[in-house]
Structure 1
Amino acid sequence: MSLLSASKTASRCVRHPLALCCAAALAASVPLSSNAADDAGLADPIELNRVEVHADAVAGYGAPPSSAGTGLRLTARETPQSVSVLTRDQLDDFGLDNLNDALDAAPGIGVERVETGRTYYTARGFDISNFQFDGLGVPLPYGIQDGDVDLAMFDRIEVLRGANGLMSATGNPSATINFVRKRPTAAFEGAVQATVGSWDRQRLDADVGGPLGTDAVRGRLVAAYEDGDSHLDRYRLEKSLVYGVADADLGPSTRLTAGVSRQDNNADSPLWGALPLFYADDAPTGYRRSTSTSADWAYWDTRDTRAFAELAHAFGNDWSLRAAFNHQDKDQDSELFYVYGTPDRDTGLGLFAYPSAYAGSTRSRHVDVRASGPLAFGGRRHDAVVGASWADSRVREISWYGNDVGTPLGPGGAFDGRYPKPAFDSDSDGSDFEFRRDALYANVRWDLADTFKLITGANHARVRMAGTGYGTPKDSEVTRTTPFVGAVWDIAAAYSLYASYGGIFAQQTELDASGAPLEAIEGSNLEAGLKGAWLDGRLNASAAVFRVEQDNLARYVGFDVDSGRSVYAGEDARSTGIELEVAGDIGEVWSLSAGWTRLRIEDDAGDDSRPYVPRTTLRAAAVARVDAVPGLRVGGSVRWQGDIWQPVVLPDGAPARVEQTAYAVVGLMAGYRLRSGWDATLNLDNVTDRRYITSLYSAGQGFYAAPRSVSLTLGYRF
C-alpha cells in the first residue's frame, strides 16, 4: 500500500443493493483507532514471530477495527456508539490538509471559526473539548483550538460522538476527536507532492518510510511546508511540519515505537475577534468578504512540539500489555488588534480599538498503561481490558495592554489595517494554572450468545486544578466514577441493533454569586440504533437516536462591581436527535461518506438553547472511478446546514439578533493516476460562490468564508 492514498483495493461484489441501505435510513459507522493489538497502539502493524498481527491497512473510505471508544478492538458494527472516520484517501481526494476543513466534512461536527487562528468544535449541541493522539490526550485548556493543525502526519481522523468517559474520563458528552499518526512501513516506499491554489497558495509534501538497515527496525519521515495569502485582506499564513517515527522489534513479542513532531505557524495580520455584524439601527452590516479588522503589524505565531513512545508486549496466553507516553510543548506569541462596538450606518463611527500583545505556553504529559485479553467464564470466551492513566498540563500566559485601549476609530479605520502599533506597556494580566488527572478503568465485553454481546465498564478519575486565570482562582478538585454499558444484538447476517449509555464529567472554575466555584459538569449520552455492514465490512451504515444531557454548565449572569469579577450560575441543557450515516466502498468503483443530523437543544426551562448550532446538517462526499478511462476518478461533496442565529443587545439596550440563513457549500474534484506513479488532483471549492458567515458562536461578531477557489496537486509515489 502506498503512503498517500493507495489505489482502492479490489473487493468482491455481493448482491445487496445500495437502495436497501438508503431505504433503511442507515448511516455510516466507522470504528475509532486501529490495529493489531490496537490496545498495543500499533498502526499498520508488521508481522513478528509468534505474535498475532492484524493487517488493518486503510484504503478507500472504510476503516479497520478500533479500540479508542471502549479499549477493546471492535469493528464498526460491534461498537455500540456512533463513530465516523476521515480516511487518508478522503482527505487526499478533496484536498483536506488542515483540521478545520477536514472536520467540516465529518458528519455531525460543527466547526466554529470565530477567528482565523482560533476555532471551537461542536457535536450533538455541545462543545468538543477532547482531542487525542493515538487514543491519548487531555482536554483543551479553554475548549478552543489555537492555530492551524496540519494533517500531513496522520493516517486518519476518528470521531466518536457522545460521552467518552470510559477512555477519556473528563470532558463533554459531545464527541472525541482522535488523530491516528502514520507509522513506519515494512517495505521502502514514499511520495512527494506539490499543490498550488487560489490566493498564491503553495504547498509541498514529502513522505518516506521503510526498514532502517534491518527488517527489525523501521522508520518514517513526513514533512510539509505551506505558504500563501487568504481571501481576507492582509492575512497570510506560513506553516511547516516535520514528523519522524521509528519502531523496533525488541524480541519476537515486544515492539518499541517512538516519534516526534514539530509544527510552526506564522500568521501575519490574523483576525482577533471579527467583523461587527449589525449597525446601530439593527440592520446587517454586509461587508465585503475580504474585509478584516486586523492591523498590518499584527501577527500570531505558534510552535507545537509533540513526542511519544509506546512499548507493546504480547504474552503467550493471548493477553497483551501496552505502555504509552505523550508529551506536548505548545508556545504562542502574538501582537493583535481587536475592534469592538456597533457602527453607525451613515457615518461609520461607533467602533473602538483594543490592541494587545500576548504570550503563552502549554506543557502536557499523558501516561497510559493497559492490559487486554480473554476471560473464560460460563463456557464462553469474553474480552477484557484494564488500565491506568496519569495526565497533567500547565498553562502559563500573559497579556500586555497599551494606554490606547478604547480609542475611537474613524470611518473605515477599523478595516484599513493602518492603526498605529502601540507600546504595550500600560498594564498586564495573565494565567498560571495546573491540571492533573489520575484514572483507573476497566471494561469487559461479555459474549452472552453468538448473536448478543454486552459491554460493561467504568472509569474512576480524580481531577485537580490549581492556580489563577486572569485574576480568577482555578482551584478545584473532583473525583467521579463514570459508567459505560452497551449492548449489540445481531438480528441478521448484515444487521445489528445496539444501545449504550455513557457518563462523563468535567471540573469547572467559574465562580457563583457567593464566590465559590461551580460544581463539576455532569454529562451523559444515551443512544440506540441500527447498524449494517456489507462487502466484508468495507461498507458500513447506521441510524441512531440519541439524548445528551449536560448538567450544571456554567452560564454568565452578570458582573459584580464590588468584587470586580464575572458571576456564573449552573444551567442544565439537553439535546435529542437523529443521525443517519453511510460510508465505505462499493466494489472498485464508488467510495462515499454521507451523514445527516437533526437535533433539538433545550435549556432547563425547556426553551431553545445555543441557537448558533444548526439544528439540521448534511455532509456528503463521493468519488467514482471511471472504467472507461483507467486511472480517472471524479467526485463531489456538499456541506449543508439549516438556519442559525444569536441574540445580541443594541447600544440602546434593545434586544436584537443576528442570523445566518441556511446554505450549502458544493465542491468538485477530478483526479488522474498513472501506473508510473504520477498523480494529479484538481479541486474546486464553493462552486456556487455561496456567501456566508463562518460562525455565530461569538455574539455580534463574525467573518465571511472564502469564495470560490481552486487548487491543483501533482504527486509522485515510489
Structure 2
Amino acid sequence: MPASASTAFRAALSVSHIALLAGLSVVVPSLVQGLRAQEAAPGIALETISVEAPDWAVLTEGKDTYTSPVTSTGVGSPTAWKQIPQSISTVTSQRIQDQGFTQLEEAMARTTGMVILQNDVGRSSIFSRGYEIDQMLVNGLPAPLSSIYGTQPDLAIFDRLDVLKGPAGLYYGGTGGGGNSGPSGVVNGILKPAVADYFLNAELSGGSWEFGRAQLDAGGKLNAAGTVRGRIVAAYQDADSFVDYNENKVWVGYGTLAMDLNENTTLSLYAWHQERDILPFNGLPAANLGGGVGQLLGVPRNTFVGASWNTFHNASTDYVAELLHRFDDGGEAKASVRYSDRSVNYRYAYGGSAVSIAPATYGNFTMQYTAAQYSETSLSADAHVTRPFEAFGQTHEVTAGLALSSVETNLLAPTSTTLSGTYNIYSFNPALVPVPTTLYNRQTQTDPTQWGLYGQAKIKPLQPLTVLLGARLAWYDNTSTVATVNTTSGALTTTSTPISYDAEFVPYAGLVLDMTPNISAYISYTDTFTPQSELDASGDVLQPRQGYQYEGGLKGTFFDGALNASAALFLIRDTNRALATSVANVYVAAGETQVSGYELEVSGRLAPGWEVFAGFTYTETEYVTATAAQLASGFSTYTPRNNFNLWTKYEFQDPILKGLHIAGGIKHLSSFYTTSGGVTLTAPAYTTVDAQVGYKFNKNLQATFTATNIFDEDYYTRVGSTSLFNFYGEPRAYWLKVSATY
C-alpha cells in the first residue's frame, strides 16, 4: 500500500474508533439508566421503536412488515410508493431478520429480478435488468460498489434496502463520478436511525460450516426531552464455507447521533467502520469438449482450486451528515454529505486453463493469480428543496437540487501473474502451489468528479392524474493516469488521459393515473448518460454510454398500506458499454444492447399474522447491433429468462399456539449460459426450497431454526469460463438464531 494511502487509512480508522468509543461512552450509561426507568414504568411498550417525525414512515423497523407504502429512493423526498412511475422493491427490517440476511448479496439474491454472479461472500456481482450495479447509495448518497474489491456492506447497520430497477440518473447522476445514471438501477440502504425509546437488542447465530455471528444494537434518548438521541451497532461474523479452505470473516461498528435543533429541524450524524478477511476462492475450471461446447465438472461440491496463501483484506470507513428541515406545508429542505475511505490488499491463485479430457493428461490444468493494493476515497453531497404549491385548484410539487460526487482511486498491480506447474483437479493440493514473487510495477490513478443540477415538477392537471417532468444538467471531469515500469529494463512509461463533459442534459418524464383509491397506472421514460474511463487500443477514452428506458405498469396498495402489488413492462437500450479485450487495459465499445421483459411482485400482509414477499421477472437480453464477435458471445446471457422468489411467514393467532411461527421460501432460476473464448458453458435450471420454524417465548426472547435448500439440490449458481468463475450453489444447511430484546 502506498505510504500516503496507508497513513490516510490509519488516520480515518483512528477517527472512526474514537467516534465509536465516544458514542459508547455517551449512549451506554444513558441506555442503562433509561432501561431501569422503563422497567419501573409498566405502561411503556419496550418493543416499540419510534420517534416523532413526519418522514418516519420511510423506516420499517419495529413494524413487523414485508412492505412499505412510502420510499424516498429515486424521488428525493418521502413519496407514496404507488405514485412513483418505476419499479421499486423493498427489503424491510423484518425480512432481513426473518430470512437471516447479513450481507448485501444475500438480500439481493432474494429480491425481485436481481441476479447474483456468485463469488466469495461480500465479493459477488449484483445485476439488475441485465446490467451490473456498480454503485450503492446510503441514505441517497453514492459510493462505488465493487465485486473484486469486496466493498459490499454488512447489513447490521441498515433499517431497509430499496432497489430501484432501471436508470436513476435524475437524482443520482453518472456512474463515472460516483452516482448512477446507467441502465441497471440503484440499491439504497437506509441507515438505522437514533431513536428516543431506550432499547437493547442482542443476537447470536450459529450454523453449518462453523458459521457464527454475534450482533448488538442499542440506543435511546440522551436528554430528558428526547431531542438528542444515540444508537450503536456492532456485529462480528466468522464462517467457513462448504468449499474446503474458503474462509470469511467480517466485523462492523456503527454509531449515530440525532439532534433536534428545533421542532422542524434535525441534524443526524453517522459513522461506521467495517473490515473483511477472506481466504478467496475464484470458482472451478471446466472442460472444453471442442466445437465451442464446454462442460461443467462433476467434482464434489467442496472442491477448492486456489492456494493456501490466498489472502484478501479490505477495510472501509464512512461518515454521513444530514441536516433536514421540514416545512409546515409538507415540504422539506435537506443537505447531506458522505465521505468514504477504503483500502484493499489481496493476492490469490485460481484456475488458468480448461481441465484436460485427454486420456494421458486427464484432469490436468494450469493456474494463475491476481494481486492488488488499492485505495479509494469518495465524497458525495446533495442539497435539495421540495415544496408543494397550489394552482388551478390542485396541489403540485417541485424539487430543485444540487449534487456533487468525487472519487479518487489508486491501484498498484503486477503485469505478470503467471504461476508455474501443472495441477490435477482430482488430486489437487493447495499447499503445493508456489508462492510467487510479486512486482507491483503498474500504478493506475483516477479522479472522476461530477456536478449536477436537477429539478422535477409533479403537476396534477386533474385530481387523479400526476405528470412528472424532470431533468439533470451534469458536468464531468476525470483524468486516468497509468504508470508502468518495465521489469527488465526499468524503463517507466506513463500515460495520462483527461476527459471532460459540460452541461450534459439527462431528461426524465412520467405519468401516474389513479384508477381507484388503491390502484394506479403509470408510464415513464428515463434517459441515461454514463461517462467512461476505459481506453481503446489507440489510447483514446471510450465514448460515454448512452441509452434509455421505457417502463409502464400497475401498482396497488391494499389493507391500509399493509399489502403492495405491482406489475411492470420494461424495455432498455444501451450502447458503448466498455468490453475488456485479451490485451490488458484495452477495451472496445459494445454495440447497442436491449433488455426487455416484465415483472410481478406482491409484498406485505395477506391476513393477520401472514406476511409474504413474492416476485417473478421474465427477461430477454440481446444485442441489437454489434460486431460478429459480440453477437457470438451474446449479451448478459447469465441473466435467466425466468427468475422467481417467494418467502412467506405465518404467526399463529390461536392463543394456544401464540408465539409460534412457520415460514418457507422457494427460489427458481431457469437455465443460463456464458460464452467465453468461443466456448459455451450452460447451467441447468434449478429450484431450492427453504423452511423455518420460530418461537417467541415472551416479549423479550425468541429463537428461529432455518433449513435452506432442504432437498439438497445439486446445481451451479454461476458459470464463467473454462478456467474460472464456475460456482456450485450452497448444499443443504441449518441455522439457529436466538434474539433478545429489552
Band of TM-score, shorter chain: 0.7 to 0.9
Per the TM alignment, residue 693 of structure 1 is displaced from its structure 2 partner at its CA by: 2.0
Moved more, 575-584 or 317-326: 317-326
Residue of 556, 575, 589 corresponding to 2:609: 589
Residue of 281, 284, 302 corresponding to 1:290: 302
**What is the aligned partner in structure 1 of residue 595 from structure 2?**
575
Identify if the C-alpha distance between structure 1 residues 144 and 577 changes in structure 2 by more than 3 Å, giving closer, same or farther: farther
- Write the letter of the residue equivalent to 1:161: K
Q: Secondary structure at the match of 2:366?
A: strand
**What is the aligned partner in structure 2 of residue 11 from structure 1?**
none
Q: Is 1:646–1:699's contact at 8 Å kept on the other side of the alignment?
A: no
Identify if the C-alpha distance between structure 1 residues 226 and 68 changes in structure 2 by more than 3 Å, giving closer, same or farther: same
- Write the letter of the residue equivalent to 1:457: G
**What is the aligned partner in structure 1 of residue 25 from structure 2?**
none
Is the aligned partner of 1:464 residue 2:477?
Answer: yes
Per the TM alignment, residue 193 of structure 1 is displaced from its structure 2 partner at its CA by: 1.1
Residue of 285, 302, 310 corresponding to 2:322: 310
Identify if the C-alpha distance between structure 1 residues 337 and 143 changes in structure 2 by more than 3 Å, giving closer, same or farther: closer
CA distance in 1, matches of 2:152, 2:390: 48
Residue of 192, 205, 208 corresponding to 1:195: 205
**What is the aligned partner in structure 2 of residue 434 from structure 1?**
447
CA offsets per residue over residues 330-354 of structure 1, 9 Å max, x none?
1112221132012223434652232
**What is the aligned partner in structure 1 of residue 74 from structure 2?**
69
Residue of 196, 203, 218 corresponding to 1:186: 196
Please give the residue correspondences for 1:105-504 in structure 2 after superposition, counting only pairs within 5 Å: 105-115=110-120, 118-140=123-145, 146=150, 149-170=153-174, 171=180, 172-214=182-224, 215-267=226-278, 269-271=279-281, 273-279=282-288, 282-315=294-327, 318-345=330-357, 346=359, 347-348=361-362, 350-400=364-414, 405-412=418-425, 415-426=428-439, 428-468=441-481, 475-479=498-502, 480-504=504-528
**What is the aligned partner in structure 2 of residue 667 from structure 1?**
690
Identify if the C-alpha distance between structure 1 residues 157 and 317 changes in structure 2 by more than 3 Å, giving closer, same or farther: closer
- Write the letter of the residue equivalent to 1:613: T
Q: Secondary structure at the match of 2:299?
A: coil
**What is the aligned partner in structure 1 of residue 645 from structure 2?**
619
Is the aligned partner of 1:600 residue 2:620?
Answer: yes
Q: How many residues align?
A: 660
Q: Which structure shows the bigger proportion of residues in helix conformation?
A: 2
CA distance in 2, matches of 1:698, 1:121: 18
Identify if the C-alpha distance between structure 1 residues 178 and 414 changes in structure 2 by more than 3 Å, giving closer, same or farther: farther
Is the aligned partner of 1:714 residue 2:741?
Answer: no
Identify if the C-alpha distance between structure 1 residues 356 and 589 changes in structure 2 by more than 3 Å, giving closer, same or farther: closer
Residue of 644, 660, 671 corresponding to 2:672: 644
**What is the aligned partner in structure 2 of residue 551 from structure 1?**
575
Q: Secondary structure at the match of 1:233?
A: coil
Q: Secondary structure at the match of 2:80?
A: coil
Q: Is 2:372–2:412's contact at 8 Å kept on the other side of the alignment?
A: yes
Q: Is 2:58–2:71's contact at 8 Å kept on the other side of the alignment?
A: no
CA offsets per residue over residues 514-549 of structure 1, 9 Å max, x none?
442221001311111111111011111111111011
Is the aligned partner of 1:703 residue 2:723?
Answer: no
Please give the residue correspondences for 1:499-578 in structure 2 after superposition, counting only pairs within 5 Å: 499-556=523-580, 559=583, 566-578=586-598
**What is the aligned partner in structure 1 of residue 40 from structure 2?**
none
CA distance in 2, matches of 1:289, 1:147: 27
Identity level (%): 26
Q: Is 1:128–1:143's contact at 8 Å kept on the other side of the alignment?
A: no
Identify if the C-alpha distance between structure 1 residues 365 and 598 changes in structure 2 by more than 3 Å, giving closer, same or farther: same
**What is the aligned partner in structure 2 of residue 691 from structure 1?**
714
CA offsets per residue over residues 593-635 of structure 1, 9 Å max, x none?
1111112111024965221111111011111112231011111
- Write the letter of the residue equivalent to 2:237: E
CA distance in 2, matches of 1:414, 1:165: 51
CA offsets per residue over residues 130-155 of structure 1, 9 Å max, x none?
31001110444x67661553101101
Identify if the C-alpha distance between structure 1 residues 444 and 698 changes in structure 2 by more than 3 Å, giving closer, same or farther: farther
Identify if the C-alpha distance between structure 1 residues 294 and 489 changes in structure 2 by more than 3 Å, giving closer, same or farther: same
CA offsets per residue over residues 318-367 of structure 1, 9 Å max, x none?
54211101011111122211320122234346522323442111101111
- Write the letter of the residue equivalent to 2:207: G
Is the aligned partner of 1:634 residue 2:639?
Answer: no
**What is the aligned partner in structure 2 of residue 8 from structure 1?**
none
Identify if the C-alpha distance between structure 1 residues 555 and 259 changes in structure 2 by more than 3 Å, giving closer, same or farther: closer
- Write the letter of the residue equivalent to 1:66: T
Query: Could you say what the CA RMSD is over the residues aligned between the two structures, in angstroms?
Result: 2.4
CA distance in 1, matches of 2:499, 2:158: 35
Q: Unaligned regions of 5+ residues in structure 2, if any?
A: 1-30, 32-48, 175-179, 485-494
CA offsets per residue over residues 430-469 of structure 1, 9 Å max, x none?
3211111101111111122221111111111112221235
Q: Unaligned regions of 5+ residues in structure 1, if any?
A: 4-43, 650-654
Q: Secondary structure at the match of 2:304?
A: coil
Identify if the C-alpha distance between structure 1 residues 359 and 521 changes in structure 2 by more than 3 Å, giving closer, same or farther: same
CA offsets per residue over residues 671-711 of structure 1, 9 Å max, x none?
11122410001111111111222222556521212211000
- Write the letter of the residue equivalent to 1:165: G
Per the TM alignment, residue 587 of structure 1 is displaced from its structure 2 partner at its CA by: 3.2
Identify if the C-alpha distance between structure 1 residues 423 and 697 changes in structure 2 by more than 3 Å, giving closer, same or farther: closer
CA distance in 2, matches of 1:555, 1:418: 35
Moved more, 116-125 or 628-637: 116-125
CA offsets per residue over residues 246-298 of structure 1, 9 Å max, x none?
1011223221110100111111x212x32112246544322211111121122
Identify if the C-alpha distance between structure 1 residues 279 and 319 changes in structure 2 by more than 3 Å, giving closer, same or farther: closer
Moved more, 462-471 or 329-338: 462-471
CA offsets per residue over residues 462-514 of structure 1, 9 Å max, x none?
12221235867553223421111111111123221111111122111333454
CA distance in 2, matches of 1:395, 1:529: 40
CA distance in 1, matches of 2:295, 2:263: 71
**What is the aligned partner in structure 1 of residue 13 from structure 2?**
none
Q: Secondary structure at the match of 1:90?
A: helix
Per the TM alignment, residue 384 of structure 1 is displaced from its structure 2 partner at its CA by: 1.4
CA distance in 2, matches of 1:143, 1:373: 39
Moved more, 223-232 or 507-516: 507-516
Moved more, 284-293 or 316-325: 316-325
Residue of 657, 660, 679 corresponding to 1:656: 679
Identify if the C-alpha distance between structure 1 residues 503 and 191 changes in structure 2 by more than 3 Å, giving closer, same or farther: same
Q: Is 1:353–1:405's contact at 8 Å kept on the other side of the alignment?
A: yes
Identify if the C-alpha distance between structure 1 residues 431 and 115 changes in structure 2 by more than 3 Å, giving closer, same or farther: farther
- Write the letter of the residue equivalent to 1:331: S
Q: Is 2:354–2:722's contact at 8 Å kept on the other side of the alignment?
A: no
